[in-house]
Structures are given as C-alpha cells and as structure tokens.
Amino acid sequence: MSETPSVFQGRSRRALTVFASGVSVVGTSFALYGTTREFVIIAASRTALDVLPSSVVASIIWNFGDLSFSLALLVFGIALAGVTGAVSYAGFRAGERLVGEAPNVGGMALSLAVVWALVAATVWSPLAAVVPAAAGTIGTGLVIARSTDDADQLSTPDDRRAFVKTLAGLGAYNVVAHAVGFVQGSGSRTDELSTPPSESEASDLVQQRLDAAADRSLNVDGMVGLVDTTDSFFTVDINPRPPTVEAENWALSVTGNVETEREFTYEELRQRETVHRFKTLRCLGDPVDGEQIGTALWTGCSLLDLLDEAGANGSHVVLRATDDYYYSVPMSMLSEAMLAYGMNEQQLPREHGYPVRALIPNRWGKLNVKWLDEIEVVDQSESGYWEERGWNGMGTVNTVVKFGASNRLSDGRVQLGGHAYAGTDGIQEVRVSLDGGETWDTATLSDPLPDPDTWRQWKYEWQPDSTSYTVVAKAVDGTGTEQTRVRSSPFPDGATGWSRLDLSVQL
C-alpha cells in the first residue's frame, strides 16, 4: 500500500493554503496598483522606515545602495504574503467555528474582514484593500474547500487531483497578476523617473561651464569626471519610488513668520534671475570608502530672495517636501542657497527632486530637500526627519578622500586616482602613503571648479618594487587642516578617517 505524498498531509496542506492566500493578496495588489503607494508592499516598506531602528534602515540603504529598496520589496513581499495568508487562514477557520450552520459563509466573511483590515491599515486606504483582500479570501476558501475536514491527509486520488488543480489555478492566476503588476510597475517607474518634456537647460553658459569642467579633469582611465553624468549621480531618499509631481499643478509656498505668505509657481521660479552653480553632494550615510557622493552643475534661482520678498522674520526655515520629508535649516546657512530646477544640461529629473529641490552649501545631502513644496519660517530649530531617528549631521560635511581608479600604465608605473571633498573649505592637498601611513607623498590635483562647494580630482603614480601595498590617502583642506585619521561609521555624525586600499601588483 503506497503512502500519501507528504504535500497532501495536513501540515503541508495548511502551509500551501497560507502561501496561496498571501501571494494572491500581494499579486492582486501589484496588478491593480503597480509600484504606487497603494501597492501593499510599497506601503509596508515605507512603514518599516518609520518603525525600524534608524541604524538598521541606514545600514540597508547604504550597504546595498540602489539595490536596497528592491531587496526591501522582496523581503517585505515574502513576509507580508506569509502574514496575510496566515491571517486569512486563521480567520476562515475561526469563522467556520462561529457559524456552524454555514461554515463556508462564516469562514469567508471573517477571513475577508480580518485580511481587509490588515491590508487597509498597511496602505492607509480602505478602498485599495477591498479587491486584494477578496482575492486572498477566495484563495483560502478554494483551497480549504478541496481539503477534508476530518482527515490529516487527502486520502483518495480524486481528492488529491482536485487539490492540485486548485493550487495550479491559483498559481496561474498569480503568474498573470504579477506579470500585469510588472508591466504596470515598469510603466509607472518609467513615468516616475523620466524628466517631463520642457525647455532644455542646455544654454550656451551651461555648456561652456560643463566643457570647462571637462578640460580641468585629470586624464585617469576609469575615474568619474569632475562632473557626474545625470544618469550616474547617486540617489538616496526615503521612498521606494520617487513621488510623481507635475509642475503645472505644483507651487512653492512660503509660510510661517512672514509679512505676507507667498506662493510661487514653477514658471515664476524659472522666470527669475538664473543661477548656475557647481555643487558636490555627499550623503550623511556615505562610508569613507562609499560612493554616495557626486557633483553636478545645478540651475535655479536664489532661495533667500524668495524669503526676502515674503518678509521673513525668523531664525530658521523648515524645508518640507511632498513625500513628508522635512528639515530645519538656520537662516544663516541660506545666503548662497538655491532652488534648483535644472541639473547639468537637463531639467531636474524626478529622482533628483523634480520640479524643485533645495541646495544648501557646505552641508550633508540630507538638508538638500528634494520635491520641495513649502518653506516655513520659524523662530527656533526643529528636529528633522533623520534627527528624529537618531542621526545628527547638522554641521559641515566631513573631509573625505575617495579612491576611484587603479591603472597600470604602459611604462610599468601604477596609477591611482580619485576625488577629495571638504565642503566650501576646498581641498589644498591630497597626500598618499604606500606603507600604511609611515611616509607620505603629495598627489597631483585637478584645477578647482569655479564654485567653492565642490570636490577635486587627484592622481598618484609610482614605479612599483613590491607585489603588495597598503595605500592610505588623506586630505588637507583649504584652511590647512589635515583630515582626521580616526575612522568612524556614518551613524550618527557622518563617516570620518583616512581612506585605505590594499593593492596587489604584478612585477
């Protein structure tokens, strides 16, 4: 007598029921809403940013970079499928017991109610939860209907065939649902990341400045230029997907302690006196050897002029964004601050803050608020988004040297190259050691860009006489201050320390 396969035993059957139900909830939500905020996994990952310890969130974002949110979506997708499936199954069984005369009706009703409540609480939309909850409940009901109530196993071939057909049907449904979601998600992702068509920022002045920057770049293969391309510029923010804001429906409000509250449309900002400025941005979570740093030529207008026109009377401003991100900035930092609507020769892309972002000189990237829609003038400092989650970093950026390229030249010399940044203090010198910091030599620097808050490139070349080197690099800023040797992690004040590279060389 043959044994019934384990997949048909009670415990395995329950696990399959939970899985089928949960995946149906996620798949249906994905098919309906793509990668918008109504997609249950997007909503769950956004909630996690608020409830997980800030050090954990930061570690995920800055260790995995651009893959961080894809990883988060996968993890939360699996977890949420398990939770919703378990809730649906438990609700169904509880409903059966409560309504003994009509167990399937009771089970379906209670399962639908509890799954709907869970999804609605996750996406903050009762309406967006209805269809996904119904799909999960139906999935649970269909699988349970093909199971026996009394036996631990599906004992007959007909029972097993019916069970397998039900699972196969749900599997096919979910393949289609997820395929629709991927199509929707890729479409909405393209819309979110694409720059809406509009007047080009590639004026003669912009092109001249970009050409001049290219001429100042050092000739080092594999090293990023003095100006990043728009496509390669790093992105870090609190969103799994950037918010979609249309310029024609957008306005920047100046509120709070002002003589007259003002609103400025996108076109009104573009018609103001234009500012073109090179600026380097570095993320507070960027490790010493990380890559969350970049330089662009930004186009926009003066931020302080708008405050003057509104009659601002306060010590700080709170910069607020459409995605609920916010930061308090002292008024004293704003003399050279700008509102950017252009990046290099393009209109500001969505992932970098379209329609308008703030740029604050000499400060960490977190203060340079993207998707800006309000500037509130206040009398005192307020904790910003990341301060409420344990970070500091309100001071000036820390000096850093980055390794960016390693080459073997035709004459046998080894060539290293990279960038160095110290905010508006500028870089006076980069020093390189081949013996772990015992002895030092001076690297060659690129000519500085015309605006102060920018990095410089460096390169160093030597004829090797060993097969291995412990290369250390440090910078001296424009005030003559040498970069600290002490290495620290980004949390909570920003990374510090000399950069190190263990290099193997073939003689």
Taking the C-alpha atoms of 11, 17, 20 and 22 in order, what is their torsion angle to the nearest 10 degrees?
-100
What does each C-alpha distance from 24 to 28, 40, 170, 203 come to in angstroms? 6, 12, 8, 51
Helix axes 10-33, 40-51, angle to 10 degrees: 100
Looking at the predicted structure, is the pLDDT value of residue 459 above 80? yes
> Which pLDDT belongs to residue 359?
98
Residue-range domains of the chain with CATH: 6-193 (no CATH), 204-389 (3.90.420.10), 400-504 (2.60.40.650)
Tokens standing for 168? 């196969």
SS3 content of the chain, % helix, strand, coil (to 5): 40, 25, 35
pLDDT at residue 198, as a whole number: 47
Q: Which helix (H) or strand (E) holds 86?
A: helix 68-98
Q: What is the mean pLDDT of residues 422-442?
A: 97
Pairwise CA distance, residues 184 & 196, whole Å:
19
Q: Strands, E, within 44-112: which ranges?
A: none
pLDDT at 389: 80
Q: Which two tokens stand for residue 225?
A: 């230029």
Question: Exposed, middle or buried: residue 239 (CB in 10 Å: 0-12, 13-18, 19+)?
Answer: buried
- For residue 66, the model assigns a pLDDT of 54
Does 355 sit behind a cis peptide bond, omega within 30 degrees of 0 on the bond before it? Answer: yes
Neighbours of 212 (CB within 10 A): 13
Report d(CA 329, CA 104) in Å as an integer: 59
| Sign of the alpha-carbon torsion through 125, 128, 129, 130 | positive
| Helix H or strand E segment including 85 | helix 68-98
pLDDT at 189 over 60: no
Whether 5 has a pLDDT exceeding 70, the answer reads no
C-alpha span between 247 and 245 (Å, rounded):
6
Cβ neighbours of residue 261 under 8 Å, at least 6 residues apart?
Answer: 253, 254, 255, 310
Q: Is the C-alpha dihedral spanning 297, 299, 304, 307 positive or negative?
A: negative
The single-letter DSSP state of residue 5 is P
Q: pLDDT-derived band of residue 137, with 50, 70 and 90 as boundaries?
A: confident
Burial grade of 188 (CB within 10 A; 0-12, 13-18, 19 or more)? middle
Q: Determine which helix (DSSP H) or strand (DSSP E) holds 359, and give its type and residue range.
A: strand 357-359
Can you tell me the mean pLDDT for 183-209? 63
| pLDDT tens digits for range 319-368 | 999 998 999 999 999 999 999 999 999 999 999 999 999 999 999 999 99
The yes-or-no verdict on residue 27 having pLDDT over 60 is yes
Q: How does residue 190 score in pLDDT terms, banded at 50, 70 and 90?
A: very low
Query: 191 — phi, psi (to 5°)?
Result: -60, -40
Q: Are 62 and 235 in contact (CB under 8 A)?
A: no
Q: Which amino acid is at 112?
A: L
Q: Categorize the per-residue pLDDT at 154 as very low, low, confident or very high, splitting at 50, 70 and 90.
A: low
Query: What's the whole-model pTM score?
Result: 0.78
- CA angle, corner 99, sides to 94 and 100, nearest 5? 100
Helix (H) or strand (E) holding 419: strand 414-421
C-alpha to C-alpha distance for 125 and 118, rounded to whole angstroms: 11
